Amino acid sequence: MLPPKAILDTLASHASRLFSGDSPLPRGEFEAQFKVLLQSAFSKLDLVSRDEFDSQMVVLARTRARLEALEARVAELEAQPTPPPTE
């Protein structure tokens, strides 16, 4: 993964080439090229989709709930008096 500064520098370099042309690009073409430029920059980052993020948040919440239940059960068991060992 590239460091954020390198990605921003590359993005700025490509954007400056789009703006510094001899003839201005039509709006549609400029938007298309800029979209490709951004997609290229984002593909170099270690990103996850919103769907993946949301599904992982559900898993994390479920895991936390189970952990809290286990911690409560352990505390309950530890609070019970232990019978003396029998021989």
What's the CA gap between 15 and 7, in Å, rounded?
A: 12
Give the residue ranges of DSSP H helices in 20-49.
27-43
Across 1-87, the runs of DSSP E, i.e. the strands, are none
Same domain membership, residue 41 and residue 1: yes
Write the pLDDT tens digit of every residue in 4-28.
677 777 777 777 766 666 666 676 7
Among candidates 45, 20, 31, which has minimal Cα distance to 12? 20
Say what the pTM is: 0.48
Domain count, the chain: 2
Same domain for 25 and 2, yes or no, is yes
**How confident is the model at residue 53, as a pLDDT?**
94
SS3 23: coil
Full residue range of the structural domain in which residue 55 is found = 48-80
